[in-house]
Amino acid sequence: MTVTLSSLDEARKELMKLKGKQLVNAVAWSPYQTFAHCAKTIEYSISGYPALKPTIVRNTVGRLAIRKFLKQGYMQHNLVDDVPGSPAIDNTGSAQDGVQMLIKAIDKFKAYKGEFKPHLLFGRLTKAQYDQYFAMHIANHLSAIDSSKIKQPVCSVSSQ
**pLDDT per residue over 66-102, tens digit each?**
999 999 999 999 999 999 999 999 898 999 999 999 9
For the chain, what is the mean pLDDT? 90
Q: Report the pLDDT averaged over residues 132-140.
A: 97
C-alpha–C-alpha distance, residues 100 and 107, integer Å: 11
25 closest CA partner among 12, 13, 40, 38: 38
Assign 127 a pLDDT band (cuts: 50, 70, 90): very high
Angle value at C-alpha 66, between 78 and 24, nearest 5 degrees: 30
129 closest CA partner among 60, 59, 57, 68: 68
What's this model's pTM, rounded to 2 decimal places? 0.88
Residue 158: phi and psi, rounded to 5, are -130, 150
Confidence at residue 41, expressed as pLDDT on a 0 to 100 scale: 98
Q: Which positions ≥6 away from 152 have C-beta within 8 Å? A: 17
Rg of the chain, C-alpha, whole Å: 15
Q: Is 87 helix (H, G, I), strand (E, B) or coil?
A: coil
C-alpha–C-alpha distance, residues 27 and 34, integer Å: 9
